[in-house]
Amino acid sequence: MTISMYKASIPVMIKMLGNLEAILDKAITHTTARKIDEAAFVDARLFPDMFTFARQIRVATDMAKGAGARLAGIEIPKFDDNEKTLGELKARLRRAIDFLKTLTSAQIDGSEERAITLTIGGNTLNFKGLDYLLNWALPNFYFHIATSYNLLRHGGVEIGKMDYIGKVQ
């Protein structure tokens, strides 16, 4: 049995962004109940050279919408990187989910050999679609989702592994 490029990407990213959206609801409840300034979470990082929580969310959504668009061969939607509250970050997650939901299997399936070129820090990376998805897009996406989860967990938000994994179907 084979798995399609669409099934390996779009539904997975929608689910994980949705899980993170639910986790952000718990963070908002946590900050409200404990009268914690949301900036403590928005600007949180585990080490000075790490991206902030807000940037983790931005990169996760950028990875998702970028992967979907590149695999579909369409333009990547642009989002402003100006979120300052947990609610604004949650809205960004929703915009990314809404974009991913517009993509169809007809657009993504068959993209295994599509040439994908990225420029990162002045370096050019060349991929075929399958290698891009499995060795770049998904690992980066999961890294930033997990780091977002870890920052909130470290900050005392009552979340656990099943919040990260979400409903198993």
Q: What is the pLDDT of residues 100-158, one digit of tens each?
A: 999 999 999 999 999 999 999 999 999 999 999 999 999 999 999 999 999 999 999 99
- Per-residue CA distances from 31 to 16, 35, 52, 82, 89 (Å): 22, 6, 17, 20, 15
CATH of the domain at 113: 1.20.120.450
What's the gap between Cα 136 and its chain centre? Answer: 13
Number of structural domains (the chain) is: 1
85-98 pLDDT, tens digit per residue, is 999 999 999 999 99
DSSP alpha helix (H) spans, the chain: 5-33, 39-42, 53-72, 86-100, 105-108, 129-132, 138-154, 161-165
Decide: 63 and 79 in contact? Cβ < 8 Å.
no
Comparing CA positions, the residue from 10, 164, 28, 163 lying closest to residue 91 is 28
16 is written with which tokens?
């994980």
pTM over 0.85, yes/no? yes
43: its two tokens = 């600007």
Domain that holds residue 21: 5-165
**Residue 78 scores a pLDDT above 90:** yes
Instruction: Spell out a b/e string for 29-49, using b for 16 or more CB atoms within 10 Å of the CB, else e.
Output: ebbeeeeeebeebbebbeeee
